[in-house]
Amino acid sequence: MSKRCEVSEVGPMTGHNVSHANNRTPRRFLPNLQSKRIWVQELKRYVNVKLTSKALKTVTKNGTAEIAKLVRAGKI
């Protein structure tokens, strides 16, 4: 399973751990993904989606129309 948000397309980023001696070692910053079962009114059914917590707040505020578009396009 990829660690990517299905709505906002946010994925892992890379960077460095920096020690006190300023030694740099590679690391990954992973998104805060949550699996949710959301009722989509436009489709009259539940949809399982993998969202970041920020995208989940946005969907809660703005509605599920964007998720319905992605389901109809076959991306979810």
pLDDT of 22 higher than 70: yes
pLDDT band at 44 (very low <50, low <70, confident <90, very high): very high
Residue 72 DSSP symbol: H
Are the beta carbons of 56 and 36 closer than 8 angstroms?
A: yes
pLDDT band at 74 (very low <50, low <70, confident <90, very high): confident
Mean pLDDT of the chain: 92
Distance separating alpha carbons of residues 53 and 1, to the nearest angstrom: 18
Domains of the chain (ranges plus CATH)?
A: 13-72 (2.30.170.40)
Spacing of C-alpha 34 from chain mean position: 7
Are the beta carbons of 11 and 53 closer than 8 angstroms?
A: no
Q: Tell me, what's the pLDDT at 1?
A: 67
Task: List b or e across 48-67, with b for residues whose CB sees 16 or more CB atoms inside 10 angstroms.
Answer: ebbbbeebbeebeeeebeeb
pLDDT for 33-43, tens place per residue? 999 999 999 88
